[in-house]
Amino acid sequence: MKFFALLSFIATLATATNEHHLKACQYDMDCNSNSRCHRGNNYALCLPRAVIRRMFVCADKSTFYGDDINMMQSTYQDCMDRCQSNDECNAFTWMPAVDNTRDGECRLKHLMDLTRQATPLDHTMQACRAVNWVLQPMHHLQGSVLAKLADIMSLDLCLDSCINNSQQCVGVNYDMNDRTCVLYKKAIGYSRSNTMVGTVIAAIRHGYRICIANGDIQVGNDTINFVGSFQDCNKCVSNHKMNAFMWMMSGENMGTCHCKNMTLTSKMMVGSSHSNNRSFIVCLA
């Protein structure tokens, strides 16, 4: 079974709560998650991101059984585009037509268990899973280190290294001062950076509809909570049938998963994020 990554873009403007208020900045992490630091000849301001990046990690001769939300005849590229434009879709499978015509069978999916791997097949089929990132400025991930990379010139290259390294990489720490990129195979917790200048950022990969850090949202009461890694929080969805969770530190070495049932939409969550360093992550499945 061969894995490969497909990089694509959604050309839609992100909606920010304070889009009309331009904030001075030095780095991208000085801005909220919907903006980045845009530098001109004599200014540096937080401006809304023009595009939101999504990556799909795909496997040859594989499928995801079940969890279908739609099925249609389409080309491979159209199948991917349809998944990108559908908030519910976090994976898809595509099988070419028997007569090798242009259109094949496209199945859009909403995987309830994001930890399960694609099932190998003995015939031609593509199984693709969406990969998104939640960024936590001025924080370090804690967990099992997969690799330490030097001379990585940007956060984007660090994220790409995580995707291309192996299926085991779940998150990174990136320091833009010394250009180091640390890859992790488990995110058990996080801590505030000791640096006075915001040059360190933690990023965790996920396949949920949306995850935000430092959000100004009403998360509601817990239905259940337990100590666990960010990846363990998927049990809120797969085992406890909740539609969201909050992950936050409960002690020095491990985070806690707080399972939620939330009525917020992904667009409402995007508009709520800001850089107040509240140090928790909320995900909507």
The total of structural domains in the chain comes to 3
- Same domain for 111 and 205, yes or no, is no
Residue 34 forms part of a structural domain: yes
Looking up tokens 């693709």 gives 128
- Of 27, 23, 29, residue with least CA distance to 47: 23
Residue 205 forms part of a structural domain: yes
- Please report the pLDDT score of residue 62 as a whole number: 92
Domain final position from 131, 148, 169: 131
Residue 271 forms part of a structural domain: no
Domain final position from 67, 100, 131: 131
State percent of the chain over pLDDT 70: 70
- Same domain for 158 and 259, yes or no, is yes
Q: Which tens digit of pLDDT belongs to each residue from 136-169?
A: 877 888 888 999 999 998 888 898 899 887 678 9
- Of 113, 278, 143, residue with least CA distance to 212: 278
- Please report the pLDDT score of residue 34 as a whole number: 60
* pTM for this model (two decimals): 0.66
Q: Which tens digit of pLDDT belongs to each residue from 271-285?
A: 444 444 456 888 888
Rounded-to-10 torsion of CA 247, 250, 252, 254? -50
Residue 62 forms part of a structural domain: yes
Residue 144 forms part of a structural domain: yes
Residue 5 forms part of a structural domain: no
- Same domain for 38 and 64, yes or no, is no
Evaluate whether 231 touches 115 at the Cβ level (below 8 Å): yes
- Same domain for 246 and 144, yes or no, is yes
Domain residues for the domain of 153 are 134-265+277-284
- Same domain for 177 and 259, yes or no, is yes
- Same domain for 156 and 210, yes or no, is yes
- Same domain for 187 and 256, yes or no, is yes
Output the 3-class SS for 7-23.
Answer: EEEECCCCCCCCCCCCE
- Same domain for 44 and 110, yes or no, is no
Got the DSSP string for the chain? Answer: --EEEEEEEE--PPP-TTTTS-EE-SSGGGS-TTEEEEE-SS-EEEEE-S-EEEEEEEEETEE--S-EEEEEEE-HHHHHHHHHT-TT-SEEEEE--TT--S-EEEEEE--S-TTPPPEE-SS--EEEEEEEEEEEETEEEES-EEEEE----SHHHHHHHHHHH-TT--EEEEETTTTEEEEES---EEEE---SSS-EEEEEEE-SSEEEESB-------SEEEE--TGGGGHHHHTT--SEEEEEE-SSS-EEEEEE-----HHHHHTTB-S----EEEEE-
- Please report the pLDDT score of residue 220 as a whole number: 63
What's the distance, Cα to Cα, between the start and end of the chain in Å? 28
Report the alpha-carbon distance of residue 257 to residue 240 in Å, rounded. 12
- Same domain for 122 and 150, yes or no, is no
- Same domain for 175 and 86, yes or no, is no
Residue 272 forms part of a structural domain: no
- Same domain for 179 and 259, yes or no, is yes
- Same domain for 106 and 162, yes or no, is no
- Please report the pLDDT score of residue 219 as a whole number: 61
**The CATH number of the domain where 179 resides is what?**
3.50.4.10
Domain final position from 131, 163, 186: 131
- Of 63, 76, 58, 61, residue with least CA distance to 123: 61
Residue 63 forms part of a structural domain: yes
Q: What is the pLDDT along the chain (285 residues), one digit of tens a residue?
A: 544 444 333 222 233 333 333 567 777 667 775 666 755 545 566 655 433 446 788 888 999 999 999 999 999 989 998 888 887 888 999 999 887 777 899 999 988 876 678 899 888 899 998 888 888 877 888 888 999 999 998 888 898 899 887 678 999 999 988 899 999 998 888 887 776 555 788 889 888 888 887 655 566 666 789 999 998 999 998 888 888 898 887 666 788 999 988 776 655 555 444 444 456 888 888
Evaluate whether 149 touches 158 at the Cβ level (below 8 Å): yes
State percent of the chain over pLDDT 90: 22
